[in-house]
Amino acid sequence: MHRRLFLEGSLAAGAVSMGSFSALFSAKAMAEEVKRQGKKCILLWLCGAPSQFETWDPKPGTETAGPFASIPTVIPGVHVSELMPQCAGILDKLAIIRSMKTEPSEHFQGIDVLTRGDGPRPPFTRPILGSVVAQQLGQLDSPVPQFVLLDPCPEGNEFKSFKAGNWAGWLGAEYGPVRAGGEYSIPNILRPESITETDHADREALRAFLSRKFENDQASVAAAGYNAAFARVKGLMSCAPLFDIERLPDDDRRRYGPGAFAQHALLARNLIENGSTFVMVANGMPWDNHVFQHEMHQMLVPELDNVIYQLVSDLEQRGMLDDTLVIAMGEFGRTPWLNDARGRDHFATAWSMAMAGGGIRGGVVHGATDERGFDVASDPVDNRQLFATFFTALGIDPNAEYDLGDLPTFHRVEGNAEPITSLLTAG
């Protein structure tokens, strides 16, 4: 195998397995395997990093509070920002971590750590959460993409320049996301009118035969990649309507709200309902409010509040919440202090995130910050513990070792990190 292709993440999926997979043939593991079937995940990726003070961890009456008040929730004694009245009413279905404590305080590094679970170790590319979940829980033969990224603002974050390998890393390009959202539409998935359906099918059969033969005869990784890409496009052509926001019910669209993030969250629900395994909803990097912190959060937080409420309520109503993990987080939090541009700056020392469904226990607030939010006061959680919790909730072994041949040893979560059991329904 060409080393460069491997390092860029172009390795075919079949060449990668987890060391623990041998255990799948034990009865217990099989049971677990069956149990985890059907688990899915929606990641509301709050890129830019939202303020914990204006969301999950308000500090009323202190110098760091900002201008917004706090409100009580259905959990006695627990308050959230007044900008989140709908989540306050369903906090018994949400789990909040108020004691996130991570290392990177710059975006790209923070994005890396909080989407992959660990820091970079060049030249190896650790797969992003969506790729791992798609590989572990998805169905590769499904025409519906297993990992979808909805982000209408590609200039807003590092994802614009990402190739499939940047996402899926050593898992292989087929576990990268199908990308859509806004003007970032899926190109060329409609059959040209000049080609009949029969002609199209015949051409595809011939192409598949020849390239599969070449792939087998030459043991060609490149041909395997092309075949996977063709299969994906073929699947996309059949499920293109799933990506069409205009086809979603008007009432649903009204409930979620008019903004791109809200509409794409609804689209995520639709994709999950119809066979996707992991949908990541982003909207550029709007939370990075170094200027106009309060002027921006007054708009962004109510939208997030409503999106979480609608998603959790819809999933519950459809009987899907227990199997669908909803995560809302960014790459870190914001400073307790305000800069002179009315902004809050990057802060990885003490921040918050939220989860619901999919094996996560509702009504739990894990950890705490000090009186003014300068530091974690109890139960700090780092990225490894967080990812161990995600994976365990989804029925994926967090400590399994990747089988990468002669390459260094990597685990799905490094350092034998343990999940936060108080957050798990099976804990």
Partner 1 sequence: MPFTPMPPSSPNRVKDFKLPTAVLAAARINETELLAGCFDGVYRVNLEEQSLRKVGQHTSYVSSVAVLPQRGQYLSAGYDGMLHWYDLATDERVRSLTLHDFWSWDMAVSPDESLVASVTGQYLAGGYKYEPAPEREPSVRIVDVASGEMLHSLPHVPSVQAVAFSNDGQFVAAGNLMGEIRIWNARSGEQVATWTTPDFTSWGIIKSHCYLGGIFALRFTPDDSALLMCGMGPMHDPMAGNGKQLWQRWNWRADPPTKDDQTHEGDAGEGLMEALAVHPDGSWFAMGGRLRGGNLNVGMFGISDGAKVGSIKSGYRVTEILFAADGQKMILVGGQGQPDKDKDGRIADFGRIEVYDVA
- Closer to partner 1 by Cβ: residue 114 or 413: 114
Indicate the length of the chain as a whole number. 427
- Rounded CA-CA distance 427/413 in Å is 19
Examine residue 341 and tell whether it contacts partner 1 (CB under 8 A). yes
Examine residue 337 and tell whether it contacts partner 1 (CB under 8 A). yes
The CA distances from residue 413 to 17, 59, 212, 417, in Å, are 15, 33, 35, 7
Examine residue 333 and tell whether it contacts partner 1 (CB under 8 A). no
Alpha carbon 368 to its chain centroid, in Å, reads 24
Nearest Cα residue to 171 out of 224, 117, 140, 126: 126
Give the one residue of 69, 195, 229, 407 binding partner 1; rule: CB under 8 A.
69
Q: How far is the CB of 245 from partner 1 (least distance, A)?
A: 9
Give the one residue of 104, 169, 343, 362 binding partner 1; rule: CB under 8 A.
343
Contacts of 7 (CB under 8 A, 6+ apart): 123, 124, 125
Give the one residue of 208, 290, 322, 363 binding partner 1; rule: CB under 8 A.
290
Site for partner 1 in 361-400 (CB under 8 A): 372, 374
Q: How far is the CB of 154 from partner 1 (least distance, A)?
A: 9
- Closer to partner 1 by Cβ: residue 61 or 408: 61
- Closer to partner 1 by Cβ: residue 126 or 346: 346
Examine residue 85 and tell whether it contacts partner 1 (CB under 8 A). no
Examine residue 249 and tell whether it contacts partner 1 (CB under 8 A). no
- Rounded CA-CA distance 331/311 in Å is 21
Handedness of CA 352, 177, 106, 411 (dihedral sign): positive
Examine residue 156 and tell whether it contacts partner 1 (CB under 8 A). yes
Count CA atoms closer than 13 A to 305's CA, side-chain side: 19
Which token pair is 27?
Answer: 């009865």
The helix or strand, by DSSP H or E, that contains position 72, with its residue range, turns out to be: strand 70-72
Residue 293 contacts residue 343 (beta carbons within 8 Å): yes
**What is the SS3 assignment for 106-120?**
CHHHHHHHHHHCCCC
Q: How far is the CB of 69 from partner 1 (least distance, A)?
A: 7
Stretch binding partner 1 (CB under 8 A), from 129-137, 187-195, 289-297, 397-405: 289-297
Examine residue 349 and tell whether it contacts partner 1 (CB under 8 A). no
Q: How far is the CB of 343 from partner 1 (least distance, A)?
A: 8
Site for partner 1 in 108-127 (CB under 8 A): none
Q: Which positions lie near partner 1, rule CB under 8 A?
A: 48, 63-64, 67-69, 152-153, 155-157, 182, 257-260, 262-263, 283-286, 288-292, 295-296, 298-300, 302-303, 337-343, 372, 374
